[in-house]
Structure 1
Amino acid sequence: MSSDLIKSVDESSFDTEVLKAQVPVLVAFGAIWCGPCKQMEPILEDIAATYEGKAAVVRVDIDESPNTTRKYGIKSVPTHLVFRQGQKAGAQQGVTSKDTLVNLLDPLS
């Protein structure tokens, strides 16, 4: 389930890895016990590989990062947020398609 291209981020690294990133970041909020989150893994890995160097894909475990989860209003998992230049630029809840996430990440695609 773990890809070298998808970094796990927690509350201590969220600012550096997401908010201060030089590229757009797709953040996958999920949990180890979440079946739909596991279902999204191949899509996230594909996006991470396709956008390597142009965007980042990271995951946040809601159980390990409750403050970050609360701060961004995550009510269910999986939830995917896109950040550009430190600002939330898009959101998608639930299992979704690669195209939907790519459109959030790269609106010009």
Structure 2
Amino acid sequence: MKQGLFILVCGLLAAGLTGCDDSSERRARYAEKKPAPRPLERTFDPPKKVLPPSKPKKKAPVWMDYKGEDMRQLTELSGRKVLLVFYASWSRPAMDYVQAVKSYAESQDGKAFAVLIDADAYPDIARKYGLEAVPLTVLYLEGMKLKDMVGGITAPRLNELIEQTIRVQ
């Protein structure tokens, strides 16, 4: 019985192996030279990004007309020199000085801020600062009052006075 089973298994194996011998076919298949695969081709060009023209950066304002804001909040601007400028619209020297202050503030690249106060429109604030003549400029730095300047001067002279005052303090 054992011998018969052994012969049967050997016969099945031999029959299976003789019909499955495809090694010559396999060798022939791999011996063929196949062309290398082509790289992927782009069939379309993506649209080019069209950026809108860059908007110029808005600079922080360097001067403002006073409209009843909190004076303490205005004078305590961090990192900036603050000029309170009292003027009267009927005074030609005062109006010329206001233009000089504006040009000074614009030339400082955000390091100075001017608050223009019409003394006739806000007499209570003018009294608080002891206004006797226009134009009057009060210089603040980091919330500290440094100097009062009465009278109009040019923008370069204003810059000199302010820098001299800050160096002394």
Q: Bin the TM-score by the shorter chain.
A: 0.7 to 0.9
In the TM superposition, residue 10 of structure 1 has moved relative to its aligned partner by: 4.1
Which residue of 1 is the match for residue 148 of structure 2? 91
Give the AA of the match of 1:21: L
Gaps of 5+ in 1: none
- 1:41 to partner: Cα distance: 2.9
Aligned match of 1:29: 86
Structure number with higher strand proportion: 1
Any unmatched runs of 5+ in structure 2?
1-60
Q: What RMSD in Å do the two structures reach over aligned CA positions?
A: 1.9
Identity of aligned residues (%): 24
Structure 1 distance, partners of 2:143, 2:155, is 23
Letter in 2 for 1:52: D
Report how far residue 87 of structure 1 moved.
2.1
Q: After TM superposition, which residue ranges in structure 1, 4 or more long, deviate above 4 angstroms? A: none
Letter in 2 for 1:47: Y
**CA 1:53 to 1:93, structure 2 compared with 1: closer, same or farther past 3 Å?**
same
8 Å CA contact 1:10–1:61 kept in 2: the answer is no
Partner in structure 2 of residue 43 of structure 1:
100
Measure, in 2, the Cα distance between the counterparts of 1:10 and 1:66: 13
Greater C-alpha Rg: 2
How far did residue 8 of structure 1 move? 1.1
Does the residue aligned with 1:63 lie in a helix, a strand or coil? coil
